[in-house]
Structure 1
Amino acid sequence: MKNIITISRQFGAGGSTIGQAVAERLGYYYCDKDMIVRTAIESGNLSPGEIRYYDEKVPKEFGFGQSLFDFYNKPLDERLFNAQKEAIKKLAEKGNVVIVGRNANIILKEYDRTLHVFIAATEHFRLKRMMGKMPGVPEEKVLSRLHSVDKARQKYCKYYTDTEFGNAAYYDLALKSSTLGIDNCVDIICNTAKY
Structure 2
Amino acid sequence: MKNIITISRQFGAGGSTIGTRVAEELGYYYCDKDMIVRAAIESGSLTPDEVRFYDERVPKQFGFGQSLFDFYNKPLDEKLFRAQSEAIRKVAEKGNCVIVGRNANIILKEFDRTLHVFISASEHFRINRMKEKMPDLSEEKVIERIHAVDKARRKYCKYYTDTEFGNAAYYDLCVKSSTLGIDNCVKLICEAAKN
Normalising by structure 2, report the TM-score.
Answer: 0.88
- Secondary structure at the aligned position of 1:116 is classed as strand
Structure 1's 42 and 135: CA in aligned 2 closer, same or farther, altered over 3 A? same
RMSD: 1.7
Stretches of structure 1 that go unaligned for 5 or more consecutive residues are: 64-75
Structure 1's 144 and 99: CA in aligned 2 closer, same or farther, altered over 3 A? same
Asked whether the 8 Å contact 1:157–1:164 carries over to 2, the reply is: yes
Paired with 1:194 and 1:95, the residues of 2 have a C-alpha distance of 14
Structure 1's 11 and 52: CA in aligned 2 closer, same or farther, altered over 3 A? closer
Paired with 1:56 and 1:28, the residues of 2 have a C-alpha distance of 26
Asked whether the 8 Å contact 1:62–1:155 carries over to 2, the reply is: no
Stretches of structure 2 that go unaligned for 5 or more consecutive residues are: 64-75
Asked whether the 8 Å contact 2:58–2:156 carries over to 1, the reply is: no
| Residue 51 of structure 1: how far off its partner (Å) | 2.7
For residues 68-114 of structure 1, the C-alpha deviation after alignment (integer angstroms, 9 at most, x for no partner) is xxxxxxxx811000000000000000001100000000000010000
Residue 170 (structure 2) pairs with residue 170 (structure 1): yes
Asked whether the 8 Å contact 2:58–2:159 carries over to 1, the reply is: no
Residue 39 (structure 2) pairs with residue 39 (structure 1): yes
- Secondary structure at the aligned position of 1:61 is classed as coil
Q: Report the count of equivalent residues.
A: 183
Residues 116-195 of structure 1 aligned to structure 2 (within 5 Å) = 116-195=116-195
Structure 1's 166 and 58: CA in aligned 2 closer, same or farther, altered over 3 A? closer
1:98 matched to which residue of 2? 98
Paired with 2:60 and 2:46, the residues of 1 have a C-alpha distance of 22
2:194 counterpart letter in structure 1:
K
Paired with 2:25 and 2:56, the residues of 1 have a C-alpha distance of 35
| Residue 192 of structure 1: how far off its partner (Å) | 0.5
Paired with 1:11 and 1:178, the residues of 2 have a C-alpha distance of 13
1:6 counterpart letter in structure 2:
T
% identity of equivalent residues: 79
1:14 matched to which residue of 2? 14
Structure 1's 146 and 51: CA in aligned 2 closer, same or farther, altered over 3 A? closer
Stretch of structure 1 that moved more, 42-51 or 106-115: 42-51
| Residue 49 of structure 1: how far off its partner (Å) | 4.9
Normalising by structure 1, report the TM-score.
Answer: 0.88
